[in-house]
Structure 1
Amino acid sequence: MFRLAHLSDIHLGPLPELSYRELASKRITGYINWQRNRKRAMFGDTLLRLVADMKAQHPDHVAVTGDLVNLATKTEIAGARIWLEDLGDPALVSLVPGNHDAYVPGALARAYREWHPYLIGDGGRSIAGRHFPYLRVRGNVAIVGTSSAEATVPFFATGTFKRGQALATAKLLAEAKAKGLFRVVMIHHPPIAGAAAWSKRLIGKQFFSKVIHDVGAELVLHGHTHLDTLYWLSGPDGEKVPVVGVPSASQNAGGSKPASRYNLFEIEGEPGRWSLTQRERGHAADGSGIGWIRERRLLANGTAVDASPRVDAAPAAVSP
């Protein structure tokens, strides 16, 4: 059995001191949003406790689907590198960027340099000089990292998935299928129509859907919406591919969005007979601690079957 943990939307805080030059950009709107909203909802030891709990589950690998930072300043990006190093060895952690990591022009290139070991495929391999997609093989699991991150104008948080990246992603997925691997695709924005507001949508999701329809995958992971969601995309032989979103890893209890969580996927079986179980764990809504939230099997016919409650399902506080 292979156990894959999924975290997203880290939004490391607090914000560093910002210069007037840094604020003379789209960052001013993000700065105001942080001070009015996210400072209260996402600052404290919530993330520390969640990561400590996740590590205690001993996953074989960790997938992080973006938004490590808030305004993508130099200080934030350097701090996120330190956080990644604490999270785990680059061989054990796979990362794709989010829109906040590309908040202003030039920020994403800086993030690539700082977070490079977590953003590359096996052997530093790339396709046609592209940074994305990348492929990592761990056991019988193929992890394909894609990027939807881009700098946008104020009040927009869209992402893009263009035809070139789609073709390269399809090639990697086909290679992985030929080797009999369970294929996991990581992307920040949900590749589903209506899953995010128009100003926060994924542009080019039709290319992503076509890749899945033509070549297939066994699981798609995303973040961005800060919600616990499950959608399905159609695969090449009529099977359904689960598309799973996870709430922000930093969200405090009591807010308008679900409290901090992570998913733990248990992968077993062989090609044509894969077994995929999603176990969701995180902070209780009443702030009583961290515990199991749900467990369900995700089937290729497009259904999610609730599993029996785990014996350790009661919330239990975890110290960072």
Structure 2
Amino acid sequence: MSIFRIAHLSDPHLPPPAGAFGWRDLASKRLLSRIAWRRKHKEHQPDVLAALVADIKTYAPDHIAVTGDLTNFASTVEVEAARHWLNGLGASDRITLSPGNHDALVGATGPERFAAWSDWLGDGDEVAFPRLRIRDGVAIINLCSAIPTAPHLATGRLGQAQLTRLEALLADPAHRDLFRVVLIHHPPTPGAVSRRKSLDDREGLGAILARQGVDLVLHGHAHEGLVATTPGPDGAAIPVLGVPSASALGRGKHPAARWHAIEITRDGADAVSVRVIARGLDPQTGDVAELGRYVLA
């Protein structure tokens, strides 16, 4: 019997350091995000995030999955600050980051824009997504839905090239016997977020998952604790889990900060069980505590 434990957190929205917003940004989408941050920054607290990170380190997972939105304006100084935060989170080969829409607010559209975070995106020197990591019988497949969008939009898109590579990866017999976990920022299921925040090519991704199958999908973006499914091969249901923001006080419209411990237990070639333990900020005490647990069918 072997147990592989993943800690999933998302949307930390690290506080912008000095110089994150300049006069040149007055003519870009960053201005709208700056206005929104002035309204929302009290909800995202560094000490809340620090408490969650300390709790994760106490749990000592085998791997940490971060599903995006480390930054707010995608500025150069924010990207570097996020790199410093990732360094403090743990060894880069035990952390996988799927970038979010705030991490690609403006600028280049290609995957090279995330070069500063390359060590946390996947193994090998490949630039294009999906990126792959294989750990103790678990394949971590990292997708990137983060793209620059027009003002007032927070949609995501994988693009046909990434979808084509994903299908080839999932069809590879070398990965068929692994427990396959997909990381993506935008929810791949309908209704999780509004249309202006949705994944543009959700149906294309869904078709690939229905043909090739995976075992679990983890996402962020919605700032909610979500449990859903998407169709897999032969009528099977693929679990899709989302977590709230890892820095949220929970005093707005979204719940307080939370992370999920995902324990994948393999007993022989076919017997696999997955237990999810939700841990987060207890609004009554202000401490990080267990909020509930369940087993995925």
Q: TM-score range by the shorter chain?
A: over 0.9
Structure-to-structure mapping, 1:1-320, within 5 angstroms: 1-17=3-19, 18-36=21-39, 38-106=40-108, 111-121=113-123, 123-124=124-125, 126=126, 131-175=128-172, 178-269=175-266, 270-299=268-297
TM-score normalised by length of structure 1: 0.87
What SS is found at the alignment partner of 2:292? strand
Question: For the Cα contact (< 8 Å) 1:246–1:263, is it kept in 2?
Answer: yes
Which structure carries more relative contact order (alpha carbon 8 Å, separation 6+)?
Answer: 2
What code does the residue aligned with 1:102 have? A
Closer, same or farther: CA 264–176 of 1 in aligned 2, 3 Å: farther
Gaps of 5+ in 1: 300-320
TM-score normalised by length of structure 2: 0.94
Question: For the Cα contact (< 8 Å) 1:145–1:185, is it kept in 2?
Answer: yes
Aligned to 1:312: none
What code does the residue aligned with 1:279 have? I
Q: Kindly provide the CA deviation profile for residues 108-167 of structure 1, in whole angstroms up to 9, marking residues without a partner as x.
A: 76751211111133x32x3xxx51001100001000000110001111000012232122
What SS is found at the alignment partner of 1:264? strand
Give the Cα separation in 2 of the matches to 1:221 and 1:178: 19
Give the Cα separation in 1 of the matches to 2:221 and 2:93: 24
What SS is found at the alignment partner of 1:32? helix
Give the Cα separation in 2 of the matches to 1:28 and 1:187: 26
Question: For the Cα contact (< 8 Å) 2:17–2:77, is it kept in 1?
Answer: no
Report sequence identity in percent: 40
Question: For the Cα contact (< 8 Å) 2:137–2:178, is it kept in 1?
Answer: yes
Give the Cα separation in 2 of the matches to 1:114 and 1:285: 36
Q: Kindly provide the CA deviation profile for residues 151-206 of structure 1, in whole angstroms up to 9, marking residues without a partner as x.
A: 01111000012232122112222336645110000000001112111110100001
Question: For the Cα contact (< 8 Å) 2:14–2:46, is it kept in 1?
Answer: no
Question: For the Cα contact (< 8 Å) 1:136–1:142, is it kept in 2?
Answer: yes
What SS is found at the alignment partner of 2:224? coil
Give the Cα separation in 2 of the matches to 1:19 and 1:110: 23
Flag as ranges the 4+ runs of structure 1 deviating above 6 A: none
Give the Cα separation in 1 of the matches to 2:138 and 2:46: 34
Higher mean displacement: 8-17 or 172-181: 172-181
Higher mean displacement: 55-64 or 108-117: 108-117
Gaps of 5+ in 2: none
